[in-house]
């Protein structure tokens, strides 16, 4: 990009919706740059306007930003340009401010469980403040985090993946960011120093890709991905459409795979949409913090119908929509943690709230996917993320997917190493010899089976002999080159007692009830009176005829309390089963 005019930076009057005197003009395709320049020159001369950013600066063919004289209002100037047949559209250079709220929350300390199989827990000392990554506070109600430890067991990200943080800049000297920061650009001051003088961008960058497992500070979603700082918001959190477009085009030119946009407004800008549509990158955009329904009151750029945009609302640590988050059953794609989010700040760390914080969780997850599947385009990554959220029925009306981001699930879908197995037979009487067959993908190198009865095997396709009745859960853990995958099937093998014919119980009147049945096929004949189901009469009949049962019936089929004999304990157990 070349700069050919005096740099305007951020100039906005308090309360104004657009930069005074500035108009963005997009000329129709006139076939050559010379033709555009000629038409633009003619139109500008008619109202005394001058070009301050050429289309070369903007990076979009035919798009310019002009400064009109004080004698003409911006709306009138917009109408003037629009009336020309060679102008595709014209619009004010809208002012955009970083979303609110941005308050700091109180510290939340949570106790972390010990690392469990299938998780990778980093050693960053403040990781236990990052509930969005791993939330053990409310685990009884289901974890409301993005399953980051499980995701990290698959991937911690690649340094080949670039995530552009188009924001207020990034503290690229931060102890927990420096190693992951690329050289960026400052479009506010138009220099190569995108240092963050606001804090918003640094906070977002830390969530995406703080240096992780370095015994310092926090963990990022994607440990190794590179952050491209692109400063388009000034110290007060103000930017405009032109700066954002230039930042997006710059990120595109720098090869950003993902562009993280934790900002927006309710103003529709064709120019901004054109800029987004001009890139192949995945745009992750915040849904806004007004508490509005975006289906009714659209919020942009999240609300553009561009195929490469993901719109993100904010969830809290209880998997509820936060009080401030915008929502939309159509226009918001998913939720991600956005309240009491702990991350980096310039020279520091701290908490922030907002859909701005939700966006980088998604951006980081997209970076993890891109790391594993470099060939995936924005649409494929978007679909993976949206198709693998943790759905909650109470979120159905808040976003299109009805769920909150899960970083593990999309990775597990692309993971080349995926454990699976089958067994034959899965049911039978003791002694039951079962052949287990590895059905895993990814050509694992090791196998570890647990058969549920205390025995294990490291053979790929083991056989196992079951000698005790019961239902057994099976796990298969495979691994290859440091990666692992686990498949677990609960109560998969059903071993029944040796079958012996059961006898009909006397009815006390000289006759007999129908023969007892095993309605649920668990090897136990709970249906004592043979009427097809278990009810109070069954323990009563067993009680009445306990001496008959003790003498005549096979123990295995009536030993409900697993005592090894038929007795009153079985009556009590059967009664409790009714």
Name the residues annotated as catalytic.
Answer: 167, 200, 356
Instruction: Compute how many other C-beta atoms are within 10 angstroms of the C-beta atom of residue 358.
Output: 31
Indicate the length of the chain as a whole number: 578
Residue partners of 2: CB distance under 8 A and separation at least 6: 54, 56, 57
User: Least distance from C-beta 572 to other proteins, angstroms?
Assistant: 5
User: Is residue 261 a contact partner of residue 288, using CB atoms and an 8 Å limit?
Assistant: no
Among residues 361 and 560, whose Cβ is nearest to other proteins? 560
Q: How far apart are CA 132 and CA 315, in angstroms?
A: 9
Candidates 248, 281, 285, 251; CA nearest to 379 is 281
Among residues 38 and 500, whose Cβ is nearest to other proteins? 500
Candidates 391, 402, 299; CA nearest to 354 is 299
Query: How far lies 16's CA from each of 11, 92, 97, in Å?
Result: 10, 11, 11
Torsion of CA 133, 138, 140, 142, to 10 degrees: -40
User: Least distance from C-beta 353 to other proteins, angstroms?
Assistant: 52
Candidates 264, 486, 267, 271; CA nearest to 355 is 264
Structure tokens at 286: 């915040």
The CA-CA-CA angle for residues 272, 276, 281, to 5°, reads: 155
> For every residue of 331-357, which 3-state class applies, written as one string?
CCCEEEECCCEEEEECCEEEEECCHHH
DSSP string for residues in 128-160: GG-TTT---TTGGG---S--HHHHHTT----TT
The phi and psi torsions of 465 (rounded to 5 degrees) equal -105, 120
User: Is residue 286 a contact partner of residue 358, using CB atoms and an 8 Å limit?
Assistant: yes
Range 546-565, binding other proteins (CB under 8 A): 546-547, 550, 561-565
What is the helix (H) or strand (E) element at residue 91, kind and residue range?
strand 87-97
Among residues 2 and 547, whose Cβ is nearest to other proteins? 547
Site size toward other proteins, by CB under 8 A: 19
Longest pairwise C-alpha distance within the chain: 116
Residue partners of 94: CB distance under 8 A and separation at least 6: 17, 18, 19, 240, 241, 265, 267, 269
> For every residue of 262-317, which 3-state class applies, written as one string?
CCCECCCCHHHHHHHHCCCCEEEEECCCCCCECCCCCCECCCCCCCCEEEEEEECC
Helix, coil or strand: residue 371: helix
Q: How far apart are CA 282 and CA 31, in angstroms?
A: 30
What end-to-end distance do the CA atoms of the chain give, in Å? 78
The phi and psi torsions of 202 (rounded to 5 degrees) equal -65, -40
Structure tokens at 231: 């400063």
Q: How far apart are CA 410 and CA 385, in angstroms?
A: 6
| 572 contributes a contact to other proteins by CB under 8 A | yes
Query: How far lies 172's CA from each of 104, 182, 183, 478, in Å?
Result: 22, 8, 8, 40
Among residues 102 and 555, whose Cβ is nearest to other proteins? 555
Of these, 89, 190, 268, 575, which contacts other proteins (CB under 8 A)? 575
User: Is residue 403 a contact partner of residue 319, using CB atoms and an 8 Å limit?
Assistant: no
User: Least distance from C-beta 512 to other proteins, angstroms?
Assistant: 18
Range 526-545, binding other proteins (CB under 8 A): 539-540, 543-544
Among residues 291 and 498, whose Cβ is nearest to other proteins? 498
Residues that bind other proteins (CB under 8 A): 539-540, 543-544, 546-547, 550, 561-565, 567-569, 571-572, 575-576
């Amino acid at each position: 990009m070349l700069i050919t005019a005096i740099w305007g930076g951020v100039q906005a009057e308090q309360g104004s919706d657009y930069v005074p005197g500035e108009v963005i003009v997009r000329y129709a395709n006139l076939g050559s740059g010379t033709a555009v320049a000629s038409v633009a020159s003619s139109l500008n001369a008619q109202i005394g306007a001058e070009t301050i950013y050429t289309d070369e600066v903007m990076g979009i063919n035919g798009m310019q930003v002009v400064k009109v004289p004080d004698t003409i209002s911006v709306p009138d100037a917009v109408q003037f340009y629009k009336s020309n047949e060679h102008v595709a559209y014209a619009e004010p250079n809208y002012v955009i401010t970083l979303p609110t709220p941005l308050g700091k929350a109180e510290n939340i300390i949570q106790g972390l469980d010990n690392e469990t199989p299938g998780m990778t827990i980093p050693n960053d000392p403040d990781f236990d403040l990052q509930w969005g990554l791993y939330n053990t506070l409310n685990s009884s109600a289901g974890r409301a985090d993005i399953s980051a430890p499980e995701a990290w067991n698959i991937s911690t990200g690649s340094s080949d993946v670039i995530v552009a943080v188009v924001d207020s800049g990034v503290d690229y000297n931060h102890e927990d960011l420096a190693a992951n920061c690329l050289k960026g650009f400052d479009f506010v001051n138009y220099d190569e120093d995108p240092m963050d003088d606001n804090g918003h961008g640094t906070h977002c960058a830390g969530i995406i890709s703080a240096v992780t497992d370095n015994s310092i500070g926090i963990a990022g979603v994607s440990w190794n991905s590179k952050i491209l700082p692109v400063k388009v918001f000034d110290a007060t959190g103000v930017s405009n459409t032109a700066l954002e477009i230039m930042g997006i085009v710059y990120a595109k030119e720098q090869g950003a795979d993902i562009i993280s946009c934790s900002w927006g407004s309710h103003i529709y800008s064709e120019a901004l949409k054109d800029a987004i549509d001009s890139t192949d990158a995945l745009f992750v955009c915040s849904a806004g913090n007004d508490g509005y329904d975006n289906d009714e009151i659209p919020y942009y750029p999240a609300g553009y119908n561009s195929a490469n945009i993901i719109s993100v609302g904010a969830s809290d640590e209880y998997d509820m929509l936060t009080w401030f988050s915008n929502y939309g059953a159509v226009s918001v794609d998913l939720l991600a943690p956005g309240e009491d989010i702990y991350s980096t700040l310039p020279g520091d760390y701290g908490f922030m709230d907002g859909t701005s914080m939700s966006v980088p969780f998604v951006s980081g997850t997209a970076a993890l996917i891109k790391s594993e599947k470099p060939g995936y385009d924005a649409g494929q990554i978007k679909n993976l993320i949206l198709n693998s959220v943790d759905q909650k029925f109470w979120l159905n009306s808040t976003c299109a997917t009805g769920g909150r981001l899960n970083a593990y699930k999309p990775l597990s879908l692309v993971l080349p190493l995926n454990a699976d197995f089958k067994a034959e037979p899965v049911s039978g009487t003791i002694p039951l010899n079962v052949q287990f067959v590895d059905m895993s993908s990814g050509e694992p190198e090791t196998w570890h089976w647990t058969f549920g009865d205390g025995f294990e095997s490291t053979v790929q396709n083991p056989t196992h002999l079951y000698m005790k009745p019961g239902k057994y859960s099976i796990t298969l853990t495979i691994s290859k080159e440091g990666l692992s995958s686990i498949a677990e099937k609960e109560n998969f093998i059903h071993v029944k007692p040796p079958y012996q014919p059961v006898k009909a119980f006397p009815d006390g009147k000289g006759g007999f009830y129908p023969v007892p049945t095993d309605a649920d096929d668990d090897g136990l004949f709970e249906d004592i009176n043979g009427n097809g189901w278990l009810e109070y009469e069954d323990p009563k009949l067993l009680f009445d005829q306990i001496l008959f049962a003790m003498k005549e019936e096979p123990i295995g089929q009536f030993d409900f309390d697993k005592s090894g004999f038929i007795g009153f304990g079985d009556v009590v157990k059967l009664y409790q089963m009714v």
